[in-house]
Chains A and B, each alone.
Chain A
Amino acid sequence: SQQGEEDPQALSIQEGENATMNCSYKTSINNLQWYRQNSGRGLVHLILIRSNEREKHSGRLRVTLDTSKKSSSLLITASRAADTASYFCATDALGYGQNFVFGPGTRLSVLP
């Protein structure tokens, strides 16, 4: 069964607004990561949050992690058209071996 699931599947906002995406997972993790993928391209690493951390910031990105609820959120503030992409969370689920398990992603559209 899939480890990570992003919510919503698709999100459309106006430039300047904030975008929030959520990720839920099922088993214990060491860390959780968020990646961005522009259409037809490879994935770009955004941020890593460890299981003993609750919040991390990187520029306009804010990630939270709630291990009790097995969920994480990615907030993009003051969105730009260039933020239009698919966003994936990936977990290194304990017991799933060395690979990362990705969710299906949230497709974000930022309208100018």
Chain B
Amino acid sequence: DTGVSQDPRHKITKRGQNVTFRCDPISEHNRLYWYRQTLGQGPEFLTYFQNEAQLEKSRLLSDRFSAERPKGSFSTLEIQRTEQGDSAMYLCASSRRQETQYFGPGTRLLVL
């Protein structure tokens, strides 16, 4: 069990640029989640995959956000045309069933 990993850990970008984050879940976990967390707040759900299928998306996930999980393994979250309001910690979690979610260390995004 190597845990959930995320890459990069930090990203600084200029407004209008595209960014992509990667999440590698725990290998036997078929469920993968993306959350966004701003300072002083709890994580907010963005989207959820079961294997390669994206089964749920939050209304927070605007058209500029897209997530994929090809082959049901790692996942990517892309933000197009970044805005300053996108600055946040992006957290990935995985689970085997709808129970304990194991979180990665997060990717901290700063949009200048």
From known contacts A104-B40, A104-B42, infer whether A97 and B56 are also in contact, taking CB-CB under 8 Å.
Answer: yes
Pair B98/A30 contact, Cβ less than 8 Å: yes
Stretch at the interface among A11-19, A42-50, A55-63, A70-78: A42-50
**Contact present for A102 and B105 (CB under 8 Å):** no
Q: Could you tell me if A98 and B99 are in contact, using CB atoms closer than 8 angstroms? A: no
| Contact present for A43 and B56 (CB under 8 Å) | no
Given contacts A98-B55, A104-B41, A105-B42, contact A42 B98 (CB under 8 A): no
Place the interface of chain A in its size category: 20 to 34
Residues of A within 8 A of B100 (CB): 33, 45, 48
**Are B42 and A103 in contact (CB-based, < 8 A)?**
yes
Asked whether any CB of chain A lies closer than 8 Å to the CB of B108, the reply is yes
The reply to whether B106 and A98 contact each other, CB–CB distance below 8 Å, is no
Partner of A99, one of B4, B45, B91: B45
